[in-house]
Amino acid sequence: MDYLKPSGFGNRSSEQKVMRPGSVAIVGAGPGDPELITLKAVLRIQEADVILYDRLVNEELLDYSKPETIRIYCGKSPGKHSMAQRKIEQLMIQYAAEGNKVVRLKGGDPFVFGRGGEEAIAMAEAGISYEVVPGITSAIGAAASAGIPLTHRGLAASFTIVTGSRCSDHESPVRWDQLVQSVDTIVVYMGISQFSEIREQLLHYGKSGTTPVAVIENGTTRRQRTITGTLNNIEKLLAATKISNPALIIIGEVVRVREQLMELETKARSQIG
């Protein structure tokens, strides 16, 4: 299985830049549970000479790597970056140019709020052979592990994923007015600290205060906590439970499915008892 020759958009013709030795795999590590990583991702970790990994990557996954593999932490948390994005890209290029198999290991899916697209562009511009290995994104994994289907017959035929955090004033704002009118389920990444503003926007553009809301902390892991409420009361619940990042916010009628499942499970246990 040779990943030095990436397929699709990763290929570059001989008339473009000449490939340097080595390669980069931009790999999605999944939402946190180490068993939710893909087989292809594990193979890339096993082959890696260098791994640059993020904060939300379960470090158990590094055990798949060779003892001599260089491991570089470059995680980011709100307001605190251990390494600038440009420096990360420079290291990826440097190690690949030296002939190494480099893995850029990112939580969830690298192309969903993971800046994987920026890194792929940086590799292409530098003439570095690369591939992208998809991963289960947190919206899918955390919602499922909490018993919340993002779409559900009769409740939701659509969902969207947005970020609650803006890296700079130059980024396009989330169009809450359009989302309220056109999308059934809204999933917000990195939105805990901005939730008050998000709530105000949703209510302003027509969402009912009784709209169900779920917040999932450390989704798919042993530390997962889930709280449910409505737009009217979820802020009080957040304060009472001290839910913090990393957390995912799900807004929509599909949250009621979790409540239904919990009722059915409680009933089943009482019948068994």
- Tell me, yes or no, if 76 is annotated catalytic: yes
Backbone phi, psi, residue 186, to 5°: -115, 125
Q: Is 20 exposed, middle or buried (0-12, 13-18, 19+ CB in 10 A)?
A: middle
Task: Write the CB contacts of 200 (distance below 8 Å, at least 6 apart in sequence).
Answer: none
Find the catalytic residue in 92, 123, 190, 207.
Answer: 190
In the set 54, 123, 184, 207, the catalytic residue is 54
Tally of CB atoms within 10 A around 200: 12
Q: Which residues, in sequence order, are CB contacts of 157 under 8 Å at separation 6+?
A: 151, 184
Instruction: Tell me which DSSP letter residue 51 carries.
Output: E
Query: In 3D, which of 59, 175, 170, 53 has the Cα closest to residue 114?
Result: 53
Q: List the end-to-end C-alpha distance of the chain, in Å, as a whole number.
A: 52
Active site residue 190: yes
* Nearest alpha carbon to residue 99 among 27, 23, 44: 23
> What's the rounded Cα separation, in Å, for the pair 92 and 103?
8
Cα–Cα distance measured from residue 124 to residue 116, given in angstroms and rounded to the nearest whole number:
12
CB 69 within 8 A of CB 100: no
Helix residue ranges, H only, the chain = 39-47, 85-97, 116-126, 138-145, 176-182, 195-204, 234-241, 255-272
Considering the candidates 19, 40, 76, 83, report the single residue annotated as catalytic: 76
Maximum pairwise Cα distance, the chain: 72
66 is known as an active-site residue: no
Kindly list the catalytic residues: 54, 76, 190
